[in-house]
Structure 1
Amino acid sequence: MDALFNNAGVSRARPTAEVDDATWSHVMGVNNDAAFHVVTAVGRVMIEQGHGAVLNTASVAGTHGLPGNVPYVVSKHAVVGLTRALAVEWGVHGLRVNALCPGLTATGMNTRVRVVSSGYWESREAVVPLRRAGTAEEQAAIALFLNSEEASYVSGLIAEVDGGTHALYAGYAVNRPE
């Protein structure tokens, strides 16, 4: 077992006061419990063999706040914490553990938002310094790199792949000269 891409996630956006136990449990079950069980099962094999690379999918919501989606934000913060803890604990066994934190990216998970709420989607793209959403292929390129031998000295990295969004201080607007 050379590499694991621990990539799973669900979201149930709604105001926090409307989050019920079933919603909370579902999001935590997929985003945290499943991620933990997969990484520990594979980690045992990698520790035994003395090498391996793990890449967990978190989100930029795992490093910052996001309104109206507390279960998702909390679950992805937990994935970031899991990544950092395992990078420290498992490094002595020759394992590397990193996290991919996609920003606004056009995926199957957000197809409905892009179609039904195109104005909202366009407003989200407008605040990305690169002025567009990322693609699944762009996220995959970073994932492949982080699990490759070319990243053999990269561990504990929380890679925000977001078109520069988190480099922008939120108090400013992105203005591009005409």
Structure 2
Amino acid sequence: MDVKNKVVIVTGAGSGIGKAIAIHFAKHGAKVVVSDINLESAQKVVDEIVTNFGEALPIKANVAVFKEVENLVQHTVANFGKLDVIVNNAGIGPHLLRTHESTLRDWDRVISVNQTGVFYCMKVALQQFLEQGYGNIVNIASLAGLKASPNNISYSASKFAVVGMTKSAAMEYATKNIRINAVCPGYTESALLTQLINAKPEMDAILKSVIPMKRYGKAEEIADAVVWLASENTKFITGQTITLDGGTSL
């Protein structure tokens, strides 16, 4: 996959899928900005990349704060002179409750990061891409953005929104040499999945029973798809949602 020397921002890259994506980009020769709300976590990922002879920079950013997103992009361009790709991965999960039991605070918290945060990152990155004359966005959505996800109203709403924003923006900028796609992971080994299973241990067997491959996805498998969409190998792909779910949506 041809991403050598591309400058890539990965949000929420301090752990889980974001960490795997950042490391995968670096392995393929990209210069990676490891962004996370937890700077210590971001620095650990950078250290791992540098130890393996990659190039990376940590930048703390809360994607729910517009000024911090602006700083993230500005700092990246100041350091590397350009921005080729942004991967909008930062996200949080809700408390698992039925819709009428969900709290307003939980709704606002999840929407602010998963939906508004993606909008902020798209808006600021697109301004940079239009100045450059090119760019690439990969949004991390979810299987929960494609099909019903009970007891998960805020998360589901936010991920359906990410899919919609991806498609709408892809149409707007298709003639501007800017591609925008999304990946929709199914049940993947991550902090969010661990949170779910810890809350309801019986969910482990239930979830695996609905996955035709009878296993969870691995963060590295999601990273493969993200780097591919960001590469020069997919120049004619835009506005798509790539589902990585072991067949669950079937």
> How high is the TM-score relative to the length of structure 2?
0.64
Assess if the C-alpha contact under 8 Å between 1:47 and 1:90 holds in 2: no
Alignment of 1:10-159 (within 5 A): 10-12=92-94, 13-115=96-198, 117-159=200-242
Q: What runs of 5+ residues in structure 2 fail to find an aligned partner?
A: 1-82
Q: Distance in 2 between matches of 1:71 and 1:128?
A: 23
Mapped partners of 2:166, 2:215: distance in 1? 28
SS at match of 2:120: helix
* Shift in alpha-carbon separation, 1:90–1:105, aligned structure 2, 3 A: same
Q: Write the letter of the residue equivalent to 2:211.
A: V
C-alpha RMSD over aligned residues? 1.2
Q: Which of 6-15 and 28-37 deviates more?
A: 6-15
The one-letter code sitting in structure 1 at the alignment partner of 2:117 is A
Is 2:102 the partner of 1:9? Answer: no
The code of the aligned residue for 1:18 comes to E
- How many pairs does the alignment contain? 167
For residue 61 of structure 2, what is the aligned residue in structure 1? none
> Partners of 1:36 and 1:28 in 2: how far apart?
11
SS at match of 1:64: coil
Could you tell which deviates more after superposition, 131-140 or 116-125?
116-125
Q: Tell me the CA shift for residue 116 of structure 1.
A: 5.5
Higher relative contact order (CA 8 A, sep 6+): 1
14-23 or 115-124: which moved more? 115-124
Distance 1:91 1:29, change over 3 A: same
Q: Percent identical across equivalent pairs?
A: 34
Q: Deviations over 1:65-93 (max 9, x none)?
A: 11101111111111001000010001111
* Matched AA of 2:243: E
Give SS of 2:137's match. Answer: strand
Gaps of 5+ in 1: 168-178
User: Given residue 190 of structure 2, which amino acid in structure 1 is its aligned partner?
Assistant: T
Q: List 4+ stretches of structure 1 deviating above 4 A.
A: none
